[in-house]
Structure formats: structure tokens, C-alpha cells
Amino acid sequence: MSVQDEFSFINSITPKKYKQPHLVAGIGDDAALYSGNHNVEEIVCIDTMIEEVHFNRQTMRPFHIGYKALASNISDIAAMGGVPNFYLVSIAIPKHWSDSELLEIYNGMEALADRYQMDLIGGDTVSSKHSLVITVTVIGRVHKGKHLLRKNAKADDIVFVTGSLGDSAAGLELLLKNGVDFNFSKDEQALITRHQLPEPKVEIGEILAKYPRVALNDVSDGIASELNEVASASDVTIVIEAEKLPKSDPITSFSEDKQLHWMLNGGEDYELVGTVSKENWLKIKKECEQKNYSITKIGYVIEGPAQVLIKQGDHMKLLQKQGFNHFK
């Protein structure tokens, strides 16, 4: 690797100061230590990003790579109703990455970690022949018994999603076409930012965790996939209405076909999608409105086989995990 030596690299990314009071020992020993707590459940998740598979230099700057690798994990914590506390980073580095680019990857993670008072508490540094591989582990917490599972959906619930859908996929198309250095319009830049610097919805997850029996998933693969997972885990039929899917203004400059395809299958929006009882939906909607968090009702749950149906005008069709092509 181009890093002079592993030890000075680790030194350069070791935090000067830690923020989480329950951390006992961070980077510098054989493993990190933090103290447990009887009132919480610990949440842990991991995600890997590989150069040329999940990103390339055409679409992401080093800062974005670090930011997004951490964001996708934080989003998983949010989807459990929890808050993130710690992260660990394993990085496999090929020769063509410079020291300053690697530090930028860590700066990207730090920018997001600061927002949630998260500490970097460990990792691993190795060399790689061709592609940069970055694996991030996040540890978080949720109040005991308040975690949100995919299996919680029941008939008569409503289906909701936060924010807007499809923007990340639209941003990716612009980046693949023009490259990261292109002079994008303001609208285009908004879509690109959603691809490069997605915002996990931790605060909304915390609101949802206050209510009983919310089923929740984060939108990493697209709602077609996420809702099929909820339907399977809960053994219910989920119905969504195409006209109700929330979209941003900038995405409307693309064809209707592309918009719908991206909203259903685009993924990487890192919004939250789930179900809740009608009664609690009204309370959640009100609380989110007061705090200016966007959340939209997009459908409902009925008894039936584990599947997702999409209503478009008078037509009702099966929405499969992939293969949205049937629809075009």
C-alpha cells in the first residue's frame, strides 16, 4: 500500500478525544472496551463497500466513500429504532490510493460521526492487490424492549415512508453520465448529494421507537425489496399506491417511467419504510410535522399471502423484489 507504514497511518486516524461516556478503552490495545447497561439493548451491524462494485472514482470522492460507508450502517441502526455510539473500520488498501485520499475517507466518516457523537474505537489495516475495500461496523443502543422489527406488521396497519424516494438512483445516473467533476445545475446537485452524502433518519427512528408494534426497514435496496421483506417477516399482504409515493422536485425532470422505477427499485435513499396501526399513525404524523420531518402514508396492510401489491390507477399488480421490468 502507499501508506508509509501501518502504524503511522493508525496514529493519524486515532481520535484525540472520545465522546461516549461508556467507552472504557478505544484504539490502541488488542480490542476496544465499553461498559454495558441493563436498561438498553445493544445493536450491532456491518457493511462493506468495494471499489468498482459499490463505488468508483467516477461517482464518489474519497470523502463521500467514508461518509456513505458509515451512513449505511447508521441507517441500519435507525431502522431498529436505535441510536449509534461507536464504529470500527477495516480497510484494505491498494497501491494507487494516496495517504491524503485515505485521510479524506476518514474525514468523511468523522463528519457524520460528529453529528451523532460517535467514537471511532478500532479497526484493521491491510493491503489489497486491486480494489479498495472498506468494512464498517457500528454499535448502537435502543431502550430495552423498544427495538423495531420487520415482523411487526398486521392487517389494517398503514404503510409509511420518510422523505422522498429515488433521488439517489437519479443522482447516480447523472454521475455515471457526466462524472463527479461536471458542473451540475442546482437541481442535479441536489440529487447527486443524495447519492454521495445520504442522511440516515436516526431522529425519526427514535420517534417511531416510542410507539408499539412499528415494523421498520431502511431503504438500502429500494422499497420493492424492503416491503417484500416486511411482508415475508410479518406474513401479510402489503398494498402501496404508486400515486402516493413521495418524490422530490428535481427528480420530476426525468421520464415518468424512470421516476417510478427509481422510487421502487433505486435504493440507497436510506429513508425509513414501515407499518404502524392507524391510531398511532396519526400521532406519529403529528409529531413528525411538528419537528419538520417528512413522512408520508403510501399504502395499507391486508390479510393474505406474504406479498406486495402496487396500485396504479385502476390496476393492481404484484411488486416483486426485483424484476420491476414486468411493469414497463
Q: Which of 27, 111, 233, 306 binds ligand ADP (CB under 6 A)?
A: 27
Pick out residues in 68-97 that bind ligand ADP (CB under 6 A): 89, 91
Q: Which of 12, 24, 28, 282 binds ligand ADP (CB under 6 A)?
A: 28
Which listed range, 102-110, 123-131, 200-208, 318-326, lies at the site for Mg ion (CB under 5 A)? 123-131
CA-based end-to-end distance of the chain: 46
The string of DSSP letters for 28-68 reads: TBSS-EE---TTEEEEEEEEEEEBTTTB-TTT--HHHHHHH
Closest distance of CB 33 from ligand ADP, Å:
11
Which residue reads 470500527 in cell numbers?
Answer: 88
257 touches, from Mg ion, ligand ADP, none (C-beta below 5 to 8 Å by class): none
Cβ distance 34 to 121 under 8 Å? yes
Closest distance of CB 65 from ligand ADP, Å:
14
Cβ distance 45 to 76 under 8 Å? yes
Q: Which of 16, 17, 21, 30 binds ligand ADP (CB under 6 A)?
A: 30
Spatial separation of the C-alpha atoms in residues 27 and 245, rounded to whole Å: 44
25 touches, from Mg ion, ligand ADP, none (C-beta below 5 to 8 Å by class): none
Under rule CB under 5 A, how many of the chain's residues touch Mg ion? 1
Cell of residue 295, nine digits: 413522512
219 touches, from ligand ADP, Mg ion, none (C-beta below 5 to 8 Å by class): none
What DSSP element (H or E) covers 111? helix 99-115
Q: Which residues bind ligand ADP (CB under 6 A)?
A: 10, 13, 27-30, 89, 91, 120, 122-125
